[in-house]
Every structure is written in structure tokens, then in C-alpha cells.
Structure 1
Amino acid sequence: MSDFRSRSKPPRAGKSRTGTATAALDAALGGSSADPIRRALWLDALDRRLVPLLPPTLAPHARLANVDGNRLVFLVDSPIWHARLRLSADVLLDAARSIGLDVSDIVIRTTTRPLRPEVVADRALPTPPSAVAREAVAAALAALQPPDGDDNGKR
């Protein structure tokens, strides 16, 4: 009997990495508890390879969610993108097969949640202007005021 191995599974970790940051990653990816982490990284890498093949208007609205046996599972953020992604199914299947996935179907799910979490930049609260800046603004405003008693040449 032949050993059936799905090509839809993420590869196992290879050589050990060096360095402090990668040592922590190696520790997280070690053992059977790392399988979900390894799979999430693998799915994210596949998403980054497949989604750019979609039309530019569709790509921001679709995300690879899973590879379930012989099916690619995509999420879209509204029903209109569901229909448009269905039209691009053949392109995605061909691309997935070209990188070694044994897939034959696409499942598309619509979600109400954001597909990609927004990264919030560290935004410090604006600091109030310094005393020197306030004085400079006051001096500039004073320079724009007409001197007392001048009626701008009107008589």
C-alpha cells in the first residue's frame, strides 16, 4: 500500500536557526504544539503568493483562510466580492497547483469582520507648543495688526 501524503500540509521546520530572536521562534515552533503556529505561517505565506494574482480591485477584499484537503478556502468581505472571486477561481487553482498544492475546488465564505487587522501606529499625543513658540506666534500676530490710531489712509 502506498503512503499517501497530502501536499496541502505545511512543511516541517528545517535546520535550527541562530540568534536570540530566531531562538525564540525555534522554541515556539518546536514540538507538536507548534503545528498550529507553523500552519498559520504557512497559510499566510500562501495568501501572500495567491492574492496578488487576483484583479487589483478584488485583492484587498479577499484572503486565503485555509487549505482543507483538496479545497482552498477564501474569505471575502461582502457578497459582491464573493461573486467576483468565483470568477477568478480557475486562476487561483492553477496557481495553487503550480506551487505544489493538490487542490481542485475553491470554497468562498463571506465575513463581516476585517480581513486584515489594521496596524495601529504608535501615535503620541501632540505636545502643546513651547513658550518660545507661543511667543513667536503672538509676535507674528501683533505684527499683522495695524498700529493704534492708523486708519489705513482712509479719510
Structure 2
Amino acid sequence: MNSPDADGLLAEQLLRLTRRLHRSQQRQLQSADIAITPAQSRLLRTVAHYDHPPRMADLAARLEVVPRAVTSLVDGLEASGRVRRAPDPANRRVVRIELTDAGRDTLRQLRTARRAAAEDILAPLTAEQREVLGGLLNALVDGGPERRC
């Protein structure tokens, strides 16, 4: 059985690693001259996962935020030309969010930055160690308390 101190240390290490990964990704994005917040990045990735342009309410539910937060994020992404609001053809009162070509390009650049950051962070590990780490992380992500509900 792990001691609370050991679990606390693991939690701290995970947080430090996450911060390091985030900083490395931000450096990659800055060198590519891409100005986007982590929340905007998450919203873009979420929009891209839908088969059809989602409603603002769909995005708020998926991101687990209040609708006003999505409105603010969409405002910023729309101002930068990465998304556009479009009326729903079946219901004019509903607004859907569509990725633009600039948004798709930004997503490609985000993926590239994330891969480069991961390569930087994982460089000290062998291929076998990376595989073990991937399995452990999958067990944590897939087996967390939120997933059991």
C-alpha cells in the first residue's frame, strides 16, 4: 500500500510534468507565431471532434463550462478568423460553430507543437519506457473515478 506522502509526491510530479509539457508547447507555438490560449486551443479541438458543426450548448456541455465561457472563447476565435458562427438550417434561433480554414491550420500547428513538446519531454526515455508510461497513463485516465460513474 502506498503512503499518503508517496501519493502526494506522485501527484506533485505529475503536475510538474504537465506544467513542463505546457511550457514547452507554448514555446513551440510562440516560435511559430501562433497566439492562442489553452482554453481556445481546447475549444478548437472540441469543435473538430464533431461530425457536424456543434451548437454552443453542445460545446459548453462537452467542455463542462457555463455557456457564457464558450461565448467568450468563440468571440476570441471568431475575431482571429479560426471559427465562424453559422445559423442552423433547421432552426434559425440555433447558432452552430464551424471551423474555418485558419482554424484547421491552427489545429495542425497545435498538433505539431504538442508532438514536439512531447518529444522534448520524453527524450530521456527509451521506446520500452515510453510504452510502459503510456500504459500506466491509460490506466489512470481510463480508470479514474469520473469514468466509473
TM-score of the pair, normalised by structure 2: 0.26
Based on CA coordinates, which of the two structures has the bigger radius of gyration? 1
More helix by share: 2
User: Larger RCO: Structure 1 or Structure 2 (Cα < 8 Å, ≥ 6 residues apart)?
Assistant: 2
